[in-house]
Amino acid sequence: MEGLLLEPSLYTVKGIAILDNDGHRVLAKYYDSAVFPTSKEQRAFEKNLFNKTHRANAEIIMLDGLTCVYKSNVDLFFYVMGSSHENELILMSVLQCLYDSISQILRKNVEKRTVFENLEIVMLAMDEICDGGILLEADPSAVVQRVAVRTDDIPLGEQTVAQVLQSAKEQIKWSLLK
C-alpha cells in the first residue's frame, strides 16, 4: 500500500496528444522525460493508445502505467495523460479545456483540416493550457482570450482568399443549420 499517497505537486500532466483518424500524430507533447524519453517510444505509445481507443469511445483507459483520458471528434482524437495515481477528474478538466478552447478557436469546426489551417493558434493554445506539465489554465475562454487571435480579428486584407471563402462558407452553413 505504500506510495499511494500523491506527492503534492503541480506537475500533473504527463502528456497531451492530438492524433488523426489513422493514429498519426497531429501534435503531441510529453512533459516528463522519465515517460517516453525518445521519439520512438512516444510513437509506439501513441500507436498503442490509438489502437486501444479508436473503436470504443469510452473516455478513459489505463495504458502502460498512465491514466489516459480522451475524446474524439470527426477525424481527430484528443488525449491527456497523467500518472496512474493522478486524480482522473483533474485530467478530465485539462482535456475538456483543450477541446473546448480548440473548438472555440476553430469556431466549432473541429476537424483535421481546420486544425492544420490554424496550427499556429492550436500550438499556442496547447502552450497556454499546460506549461512543462503544470496545468496553467483550465478555463477555455481564458485560454482563447490569451491566444488572442480569433480568425475574425485578422483584418480582411491579411486573410488569404481561401480563408475568406472558407469563413463565408461556414457562415452560410451555420445560418442554414439554424
Q: Which residues of this protein are in contact with another protein, per CB under 8 A? A: 1-2, 4-10, 25, 27-29, 39-40, 42-43, 48, 52, 56, 58-65, 69, 84-85, 87-93, 112-113, 116-117, 119-121, 123-124, 127, 131-132, 134-139, 142, 146-149, 158
Question: Which of residues 42 and 104 has its CB atom nearest to another protein in the complex?
Answer: 42
Question: Which of residues 74 and 108 has its CB atom nearest to another protein in the complex?
Answer: 74
**Residues sharing a CB contact under 8 Å with residue 35, sequence separation 6 or more, in sequence order:** 14, 15, 66, 81
Minimum CB separation of residue 103 from another protein in Å reads 19
Residues 97 and 100: their CA atoms lie apart, in Å, by 5
Residues 113 and 31: their CA atoms lie apart, in Å, by 26
Q: Are 110 and 103 in contact (CB under 8 A)?
A: yes
Q: Are 53 and 77 in contact (CB under 8 A)?
A: yes
Question: Which of residues 44 and 108 has its CB atom nearest to another protein in the complex?
Answer: 44
Residues 151 and 113: their CA atoms lie apart, in Å, by 15
Minimum CB separation of residue 178 from another protein in Å reads 20
Minimum CB separation of residue 29 from another protein in Å reads 7
Question: Which of residues 108 and 120 has its CB atom nearest to another protein in the complex?
Answer: 120
